[in-house]
Each structure stands twice: as C-alpha cells, then as structure tokens.
C-alpha cells in the first residue's frame, strides 16, 4: 500500500528557505508513469499546486512562485523534496506531497504538514 | 492561465438530499477535469477523474459530467460522511494543474 509522509521544520523565519521532504513507502518512486507533486493549502484558503517531478528529474513549476521553488528527487532514498526560498507569511500553509498520474489524477496524498512562517 | 470558478460557494443540505456542484473553466479543458473531497485534518481524496470516471473505491452516488468549460459533480443522496469541501482540478496543462476555490457542502 503506497504511503507518503511529509517531514521538515514546522516553523520558518521570514526571508529564509522552507525545506520539506516526502518519503514514499510501499512502492518505488521510480516505478510507473507517475509524477510526484507538492500542493499546499494556506489557512482558510483553497489548494494550490506548487511543483511536479518525474523520476528522471524532469520538473515543472507553478509560475506564480517566480523562481523561488526547487523540487528534487532522490530515487535511492525513495524521497522527493521541496525548497521554497525567501518565504513570507503568505507561505504559511499545510503542505502536501502526492502522487499524480495523467489519466487517473492525484490519487495518493500525504497527511500534510503545517509550516508557519514567523519570526 | 486557466481559472476555475466553482458554484455555489456553500451548499446547505440535509442527509438524503441531492447535491449538485458546478465548476466552470475560463477556457476549454476538454475532459481533463477531476474532483476531490476534502475534510478538515485529512488529505484530499480523489473522487472523479477525466470529468466522469469514478476513482477506485468511490461510491456510485458520486457522479461527474461535462466537457469543455462546464462541469458538474452530483451526489445523488447525501450521506453524513459527505459533508466536506469539494474542489475541481483542471489538468489540461498537466503535469501542472490548478484547483477551483471549492464548494462547501454543509449540514442544513
């Protein structure tokens, strides 16, 4: 059974870099035609796609983050990661990692991790 | 950028009633649209992919239809566990995608 688990600091200071890791278990991150994605939900707001990555390293980003985002993948560790630089209070959100496939949608999600940006 | 609009913002209904949720895209997304259910403190759950295909394990009371710019999610008879927020997601520029603002289905 596929499981995803987010990990990383729950508190980040303004202007610093937010770093999160998603650990995948129950399947190889290199298997299948899947993209591995990061999605977030600010408090009281809706869902926002941040970035997607394939096991080959091919990545895609939401242009609204203006180059602040980097997604990476480590197939040896069965993990993928998110880095968001120059954070502000607007980056406070629950961050989800998930698996996505073209024809079936975003089928598997982590439970989410709350990241607060505050000094 | 394709913008999704969902209506109504809130739908107040009783168990056993029919829920009809709308999602409209600012330009055609063909059938590349999915629906998700989201409850507080939980991860979103995929209900429908490609506008009308129920995901694995999703009850038959959930159905989706539409293509182009107008889509509908219908819950034929609301169960107590169906009260949640529902998001549509357009996937026409996959592997990128965008979500609508959500419709909250709450207890009347």
Residues A21-45 have pLDDT tens digits of 999 999 999 988 999 999 999 999 9
Distances in whole angstroms, Cα of residue A116 to Cα of each of A20, A40, A59, B43, B74: 13, 12, 26, 18, 36
* Average pLDDT estimate for B49-60: 97
Instruction: Return the pLDDT at A106.
Output: 97
pLDDT digits (tens, 9 = 90+) for A52-78: 999 999 999 999 987 899 999 999 999
* Cβ–Cβ contact B42 with A under 8 A: yes
Cβ A106 vs Cβ A18: under 8 Å: no
* Cβ–Cβ contact B86 with A under 8 A: no
* Average pLDDT estimate for B31-59: 97
pLDDT band at B84 (very low <50, low <70, confident <90, very high): very high
- Dihedrals φ, ψ of B82, to 5°? -90, -5
Distance from CA of B54 to the nearest CA of A (A): 9
């Amino acid at each position: 059974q596929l499981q995803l688990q987010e990990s990383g600091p729950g508190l980040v200071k303004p202007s610093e870099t937010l770093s999160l890791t998603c650990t995948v278990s129950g399947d190889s991150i290199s298997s299948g035609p899947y993209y591995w994605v990061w999605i977030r939900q600010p408090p009281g707001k809706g869902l926002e796609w941040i970035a997607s990555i394939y096991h080959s390293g091919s990545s895609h980003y939401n242009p609204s983050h203006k180059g602040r985002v980097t997604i990476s993948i480590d197939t040896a560790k069965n993990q993928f990661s998110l880095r968001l630089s120059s954070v502000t209070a607007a980056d406070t959100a629950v961050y989800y990692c998930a698996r996505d496939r073209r024809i079936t949608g975003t089928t598997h999600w982590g439970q989410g991790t709350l990241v607060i940006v505050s000094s | 950028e394709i913008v999704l609009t969902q209506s109504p913002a809130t739908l107040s209904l009783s168990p056993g009633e029919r829920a009809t949720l709308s999602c409209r895209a600012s330009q055609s997304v063909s059938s590349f649209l999915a629906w998700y259910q989201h409850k507080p403190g939980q991860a979103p759950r995929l209900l429908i992919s490609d506008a009308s295909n129920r995901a694995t394990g999703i009850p038959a009371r959930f159905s989706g239809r539409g293509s182009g710019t107008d889509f509908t999610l219908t819950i034929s008879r609301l169960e107590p566990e169906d009260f949640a927020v529902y998001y549509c997601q357009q996937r026409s520029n996959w592997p990128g995608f965008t979500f609508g603002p959500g419709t909250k289905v709450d207890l009347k």
